[in-house]
A and B are shown apart, each in its own frame.
Chain A
Amino acid sequence: MTEQTWHRVASLSDLPEGAMAAVDAGGSPIALYRVDGQVHATANVCTHGRARLTDGYLEGHLVECPLHQGQFDVRTGAPQGLPVTRPLKVHEVRVEGDDVFVLA
């Protein structure tokens, strides 16, 4: 496995409260979420079907896949019930001023 590095992926001002953004961190598709002022990052591809979670819905801490309504907790990546059973990979986030960094 290649060593993880920090990537600048977005500006905080482009990610309002309750929004999602699809970004790229060194080739990995990442979903950014802003909930209760905090920024979270997970893999952007659902662990069940082949869909991008940022094409789905963010409700509180839960993101719902647009394909089959599988839900994950964006803080932990934990699946919330069928049809999803495998967790999302969660990425560490660092915010410096307006710059959002993701470890990937």
Chain B
Amino acid sequence: DGARHWPPGEVSRIPYWLYSDPEVYRRELERIFYGPHWCYVALDAEIPNPGDFKRSVVGERQVIATRLEDGAVAVVENRCAHRGVRFCQREHGTATEFVCPYHQWVYAPTGELMGVPFRRGVKGQGGMPADFDPKANGLRRLEVARRNGLVFASFDPAVPSFEDYLGPLMLQYYDRTYDGRPLKLLGYSRQRIPANWKLMMENIKDPYHAGLLHVFFVTFGLFRADQKSAVEMDPAGRHGVLVSRKGDKVLNDVTQDMRQFQENLQLQDPRILDVVHEWPGEATVVMQTLFPSVILQQQVNSMSTRHIRPRGPGCFDFVWTHFGYADDDEEMTRRRLRQANLFGPAGYVSADDGEVIEMSQQGISSDPEARAVVEMGGRGTGNADHMVTETAIRAMYRYYREVMGL
């Protein structure tokens, strides 16, 4: 198909049909979201006690993550093995079993089929065939990986270990924020963004836009183009981190920064910029993209997971889970909650991203044969020690082409 041309090996030009073609999207679900990749589903802290469950999503399939008696987490598909009903209609809850409302098939949280009404018929009439095997007719159970408070799942039994999936460098950044301290759930934001899911991944692999699109950052001194930073990836190129470092001197003098950037603008309540340095090292921002489903945010003292839930080629739901550490004092919890106003659908910073990728999708979908220019910082896919690069986007497409066979 000449209309679907993409020169082999090219990653600095991205064809726009990738963002709107239903056939490409179908293959993404199959090979990426349901393939040998780990998709984010929950925080351990959302389901602390046996029987606690959270409904989540892998690709377009709903799943249920339940805490088991032994402390492990089971993740099963929310689709009755009988006739396909999405039986679980609650976002969160506590249950010892799941019952499909249609014909009352009963499942254990592990997905095991525990009962089929009238399996042996009624007064000798009807019923399931004698060779019907409940063990072979349970819910689809996913592979589960947990590390330091986060729960991931995969439909593919051949998925590598979570540690191998991230690789040593990405794991080091992951463990920086998720260091084993129990987490404390603070709340959620949810939004539906009319754009292709990859645009969200690209957004967090793109430090180039941070000081240009986000006027709040620049105006109030949370970002400067010259600050020390890095863009790093796993060997496969699918995951990445944007790291931003800022000297202590700047950090501790917010008001000076404010004068420096825009004299006439003042925050009504400057406590949103009351930042404390809490992790080892110089980094004040570590934004990690874990392909394909989640962005792990540590920006100043605000932490969240941002879960991508695709809904067709032109839309995805974006679910933000804000959290702190279980041992945070009240002041730190308040600080994290205040700073959370920077993020989420209406965040002083993040509102820009949701809106601008919607505008991207509008331009992209009206002209599928055109291409994006992704050449900032060159055409390569190596790590960089500055912000003026799109290398992490190129690296993701290097991996994408491989896994998609495109």
Binding site for B on A (CB under 8 A): 49, 51, 55, 57, 64-70, 82-83, 85
Contact = CB atoms under 8 A, between A and B. Distances in A.
Contacts of A64: 120
B122 A68 contact: no
Interface string B115-135: 111111011000000000000
Given A49-B104, A82-B108, A83-B106, A68 B115 contact: yes
Contacts of B114: 68-69, 82-83
Interface residues of B, number: 14
B367 interface: no
B10 interface: no
A51 B116 CA distance: 13
Contacts of A55: 122-123
B117 A67 contact: yes
A70 B116 CA distance: 10
B120 A68 contact: no
Contacts of B116: 68-69
B97 A69 contact: no
A92 to B, nearest CB: 29
Given A55-B122, A67-B117, 6 more contacts: A49-B106, A57-B120, A66-B117, A66-B120, A67-B115, A82-B114
Interface string B128-163: 000000000000000000000000000000000000
Contacts of B117: 49, 51, 66-68
Given A82-B108, A83-B106, A67 B97 contact: no
- Tell me the interface secondary structure of chain A in the complex: loop
Given A83-B97, A83-B114, A66 B106 contact: no
Nearest to A56: B120
Interface string B36-76: 00000000000000000000000000000000000000000
A55 to B, nearest CB: 7
24 contacts: A49-B104, A49-B106, A49-B115, A49-B117, A55-B123, A64-B120, A65-B115, A66-B117, A66-B122, A67-B104, A67-B117, A68-B104, A68-B114, A68-B115, A68-B116, A69-B115, A69-B119, A70-B115, A82-B97, A82-B108, A82-B114, A83-B108, A83-B114, A85-B96
Interface of B: 96-97, 104, 106, 108, 114-120, 122-123
Nearest to B115: A68
B118 A67 contact: yes
Contacts of B122: 55, 66
Contacts of B115: 49, 65, 67-70, 83
A50 to B, nearest CB: 9
A85 B319 CA distance: 37
A85 to B, nearest CB: 8
B141 to A, nearest CB: 16
A85 B114 CA distance: 12
Contacts of B104: 49, 67-68
A72 B120 CA distance: 17
Nearest to B107: A83
A67 B99 CA distance: 12
Contacts of B108: 82-83
Nearest to B97: A83
A64 B123 CA distance: 13
A85 B120 CA distance: 21
Sorted from nearest, which 10 A-B pairs have the closest CB atoms?
A68-B115, A83-B114, A67-B117, A69-B115, A68-B106, A83-B106, A82-B114, A83-B115, A83-B97, A66-B118
Interface centre among A67, A68, A85 (most CB of B within 10 A): A68
A64 B106 CA distance: 15
Nearest to A68: B115
A100 to B, nearest CB: 23
B68 to A, nearest CB: 13
Contacts of B123: 55
A70 B117 CA distance: 10
A51 B99 CA distance: 15
A82 B108 CA distance: 9
A57 B118 CA distance: 11
Nearest to A51: B117
A36 B115 CA distance: 28
A66 B123 CA distance: 10
Contacts of B106: 49, 68, 83
A51 B120 CA distance: 14
A28 B116 CA distance: 27
A19 to B, nearest CB: 13
Quick one: which of B108, B119, B123 has the most chain A CB within 10 A?
Answer: B119
